[in-house]
């Protein structure tokens, strides 16, 4: 198999990144934009020792699952790579991906429940993070035309996006307004190569509960260099859009791929939005973690509540990697006591405020790294809820979780791979998997949220 070869391929399934998988003489070929059961005429673009990559030249026989994507930029944006596949088949594909990933790491087949639908497959995303750039080459510092969107897959080439069906339409309007008014005010976009320019990212956080929007302007400046241009932009935004409850500026002068810096100043309004989970209102600041799909998050939280209600009587609960203590707070009514552990100080402050406003008396919020707290912990819990970052927990956290937990681990994961790696350790240490339930928190993308119920024997 060589680059440039023209081949006819029948697509078997999709891989974990959403590319089609086909074989030619038992040689694996990945095809972006393919759909299971497509027959395609393709050109090999890259040939490796164990696999090849190809692009579609012609769809000879389209899959019965193939549809026209809503977004014209779907092929170049790289965000919603499954838009060309019927939603019901997307759910089936995601179940297979979780099964295949766990099997490849655990060496045994684990039954995966059918994914629970998001409830809506468009306009669901309530957090938007767009990198911002200027155009102009050598004249960049004089050219303040702003572009914002997502990077093409595998590159840092920005796709300027004016319409995205994944988030509510008001987001498109606000971002276009920021670009237009920012240009008029002389605000420059960030240049990665020279580490120059002012505006690095636009971050929007929306409340599905009341419609409020927090706008965060991430700048390549330190907090001693606030230009009046950003105050004027904040005022214009607040006057133009009634739904904007606050505009903040975040300072991130570091040359890094981390979006938010450590310091945020409020320019107008409020520095938080409010979201409802299980009839409790939570405050969400610019840099605190919260699920991007609140509708599906509510479904997932109800699932966990029902499980605990049906299987325990007033358990003692550990809520690790707690964020704003959403799990701990929503489950507190079922528990004798809850300990929520979180490192982010803003998230801890949000959690304490929510607890006080709801007069909840059986939760302790610990401002600490989860591992450091668990290592020193001498208490015993009936249930541990783990909602770690994408990289997973790791063996040291799990070893200590098993030391302090008597009965059940509820593991919430957005990465089948890291979930499988952590499950491998748990299975070797006297645990069994009771169930794995996927929730489609990210429709039209290859990503899936999973809730694993793990019994400690």
Q: Can you give the pLDDT at residue 138?
A: 42
State the Cα angle at 217 between 216 and 218, rounded to 5°: 110
Residue 62 CA to its chain's centroid (Å): 31
CA gap 163, 110 in Å, rounded: 40
Helices (H), 202-331: 228-240, 294-311, 326-331
Q: Which residue has the tokens 């927090």?
A: 214
Q: What tokens were used for 216? A: 């965060």
Q: What tokens were used for 451? A: 């809730």
> DSSP for 336-354?
SEEEEEES-HHHHHHHHHH
Active-site residues, by number, are 414
Closest CA to 58 of 1, 5, 4, 6: 6
Give the β-pairing of 272-277 and 280-285.
antiparallel
Domain 127-277 fold: OB fold (Dihydrolipoamide Acetyltransferase, E2P) (2.40.50)
Kindly list the averaged pLDDT for each block of 10 residues, start to end, along the chain of length 457: 93 93 95 96 94 96 96 84 95 95 95 94 94 67 76 86 94 96 94 92 96 97 83 97 97 92 94 92 89 94 97 97 96 97 92 94 96 95 96 96 97 96 97 97 95 97
Q: What tokens were used for 323? A: 């964020």
Q: Can you give the pLDDT at residue 99?
A: 96
Phi and psi angles of residue 181, each rounded to the nearest 5 degrees, phi first: -70, -35
Q: What is the pLDDT of residues 186-219, one digit of tens each?
A: 999 999 889 999 999 999 999 999 999 999 999 9
CA gap 187, 182 in Å, rounded: 5
Q: Can you give the pLDDT at residue 222?
A: 86
Give the β-pairing of 337-342 and 316-320.
parallel
Q: What is the pLDDT of residues 135-177, one digit of tens each?
A: 754 444 445 689 999 988 878 889 999 999 999 999 999 999 9
pTM, full prediction: 0.91
Rounded to 10 deg, the angle between the 228-240 and 169-184 helix axes is 140
For the 99-119+291-456 domain, the top CATH level (class) is alpha beta
- Spatial neighbors of 121 by CB under 8 A, at least 6 apart, are 87, 90, 443, 444
For the 6-66 domain, the top CATH level (class) is mainly beta
Question: Does 6-66 match 127-277 in CATH topology?
Answer: yes
Q: Can you give the pLDDT at residue 154?
A: 79
Strand partners, 131: 201
Q: How is the chain split into domains, by residue range?
A: 6-66, 99-119+291-456, 127-277
> Number of C-alpha atoms within 13 angstroms, CB side, residue 419?
31
436 class by beta-carbon count within 10 Å (0-12 exposed, 13-18 middle, 19+ buried)? buried
Q: Can you give the pLDDT at residue 231?
A: 95
CA gap 258, 324 in Å, rounded: 20
């Amino acid at each position: 198999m060589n680059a440039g070869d023209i081949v006819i391929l029948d697509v078997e399934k999709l891989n974990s990144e959403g590319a089609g998988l086909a074989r030619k003489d038992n040689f694996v070929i990945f095809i972006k934009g393919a759909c299971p059961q497509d027959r395609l005429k393709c050109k090999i673009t890259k040939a490796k020792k164990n696999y090849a990559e190809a692009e579609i030249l012609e769809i000879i026989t389209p899959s019965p699952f193939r549809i026209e994507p809503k977004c014209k930029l779907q092929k170049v944006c790289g965000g919603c790579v499954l838009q060309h596949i019927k939603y019901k088949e997307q759910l089936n594909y995601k179940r297979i991906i979780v099964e295949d990933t766990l099997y490849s790491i655990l060496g045994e087949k684990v039954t995966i429940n059918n994914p629970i639908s998001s409830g809506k497959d468009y306009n669901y995303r309530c957090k938007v993070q767009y990198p911002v750039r200027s155009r102009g080459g050598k004249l960049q510092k004089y050219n303040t035309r702003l572009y914002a969107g997502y990077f093409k897959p595998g590159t840092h080439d920005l796709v300027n996006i004016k319409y995205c069906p994944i988030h509510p339409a008001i987001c498109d309007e606000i971002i276009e307004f920021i670009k237009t008014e920012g240009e008029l005010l002389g605000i420059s976009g960030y240049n990665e190569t020279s580490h120059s320019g002012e505006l690095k990212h636009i971050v929007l956080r929306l409340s599905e509960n009341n419609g409020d929007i927090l706008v965060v302007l991430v700048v390549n400046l330190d907090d001693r260099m606030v230009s009046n241009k950003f105050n004027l932009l904040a005022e214009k935004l607040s006057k133009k859009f009634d739904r904007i409850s606050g505009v903040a500026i975040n300072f991130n002068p570091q040359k890094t791929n981390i979006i938010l810096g450590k310091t945020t100043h409020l320019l107008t309004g409020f520095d938080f939005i409010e979201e409802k989970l299980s009839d409790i209102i939570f405050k969400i600041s610019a840099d605190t973690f919260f699920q991007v799909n609140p509708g599906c998050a509510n479904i997932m939280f109800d699932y966990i509540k029902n499980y605990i209600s049906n299987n325990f009587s007033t358990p003692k609960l550990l809520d690790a990697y707690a964020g704003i203590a959403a799990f701990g707070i929503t489950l507190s009514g079922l528990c004798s006591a809850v300990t929520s552990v979180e490192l982010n100080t803003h998230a801890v402050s949000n959690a304490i405020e929510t607890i006080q406003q709801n007069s909840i008396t059986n939760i302790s919020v610990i401002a600490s790294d989860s591992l450091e707290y668990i290592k020193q912990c001498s208490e015993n819990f009936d249930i541990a809820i783990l909602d770690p970052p994408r990289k997973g927990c790791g063996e040291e956290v799990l070893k200590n979780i098993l030391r302090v937990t008597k009965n059940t681990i509820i593991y919430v994961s957005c990465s089948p791979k890291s979930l499988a790696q952590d499950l491998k350790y748990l299975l070797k240490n006297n645990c069994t998997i009771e169930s794995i339930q996927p929730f489609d928190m990210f429709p039209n993308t290859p990503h899936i949220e999973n809730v694993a119920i793990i019994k400690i024997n």
